[in-house]
Amino acid sequence: MTRPRERVLVSAHRAGAGLRVDLENSSTAFAAALALDVDFVEFDVQRCADGVLVVAHDPTFVRDGDEVAFTDVTAAEAREHSPGLLTYDDALGLLAGRRSAHIDLKASAARPEQAVAATALAVERLGPDGFVVTTGSDRAVRAIRDWGDSQGLTLLVGLSLGRNTRGLAVRERIRIRRSELLPGRRLRLSRASVVVAHHWLARLGVARFARRRGIPLLVWTVDTPRALGHWLRPGRAWLVTTNHPELALAIRADATYRRSSSR
């Protein structure tokens, strides 16, 4: 639970690649994030046809001019095209004992049984306090929380709000946004222990909702100096994900200095 004067934590988005899309979720990006004093390193997880989890943001990649879904190829086939592609186990190994992980399970990896298996591996590699797992799947969040309870574990499991509604019918878009702006029912049924909100949803009321209920708030993706200054103020959030972790750390340190100097 976020206390009024508690320092807001910083997470390096897409493993610390910043705006270098070509480096996102790569070993190079992980190395850059680990060189900073970030609290968490965020990475995205997709599932391949053979069940192997890989670290990638998009559900597809381009091979010989064609778009190929990870779910249609094995991990070995995907790595033939992208030799630097990390497996989920690789990513956990890079962070073990060094930083906490922010594991974002994308749709292909968020079936309840798959989400539970991914979480169990994270517990094994990082310990139950070494990560937060997030997904937009209410059913996956509930499955992870139920599994954690069965193991006697208190896990940080976040329900992500801020789904891309592009291409959906107007009525469906309204339904989704309403469920995100008024997330009480979804959070109760999913048993989410963390509220995960896009920064504009957080400003529109989700942050207030989380504070009133004492639920940790994870805000994504915060990049401008002004927005970082807002969300890094103690009590505004529990964790902030950013493409500019170095800037975020500088702003947080400056804010901490100004507060201590004014006492």
Q: How far apart are CA 135 and CA 69, in angstroms?
A: 19
Q: Is the separation of the CB atoms in 104 and 45 below 8 Å?
A: yes
Cα pseudo-dihedral 224, 227, 229, 232, rounded to 10: -110
Contact in structure between 108 and 59 (CB atoms under 8 Å): yes
pTM score over 0.85: yes
Q: Which residue type does 102 have?
A: H
For residue 90, give every residue at least 6 positions away whose Cβ sits within 8 Å of its Cβ, in sequence order, or none: 27, 55
Give the per-residue pLDDT at 2. Answer: 40
Give the count of beta carbons closer than 10 Å to the beta carbon of residue 191: 17
pLDDT, one tens digit per residue, over 7-33 is 999 999 999 998 899 999 999 999 999
Given this model, what pLDDT does residue 72 score? 97
Distance CA 119, CA 185 (A): 24
pLDDT at position 19, please?
Answer: 87
For the chain, 263 residues long, the average pLDDT of each consecutive 10-residue run is 71 94 95 97 98 97 91 96 94 98 97 98 98 98 98 98 90 93 97 98 97 97 97 96 97 70 43
DSSP string, the chain: ---TTPPPEEEEGGGGTTT-GGGTTSHHHHHHHHTTT-SEEEEEEEE-TTS-EEE-SSSEEEETTEEEEGGGS-HHHHHHH-TTPPBHHHHHHHHTTT-EEEEEE-GGG-SHHHHHHHHHHHHHHH-TTSEEEEES-HHHHHHHHHHHHHTT---EEEEEE----TTS-HHHHHHHHHHHHS-HHHHHHHT-SEEEEEHHHIIIIIHHHHHHHT--EEEE---SHHHHHHHTSTTS-SEEEES-HHHHHHHHHHHHHHHHHT-
Give the per-residue pLDDT at 260. 46
For residue 258, the model assigns a pLDDT of 54
Going from the N-terminus, what domains does the chain have, and what CATH number goes with each? 9-261 (3.20.20.190)
- What pLDDT digit, counting tens, does each position of 139-157 carry? 999 999 999 999 999 999 9
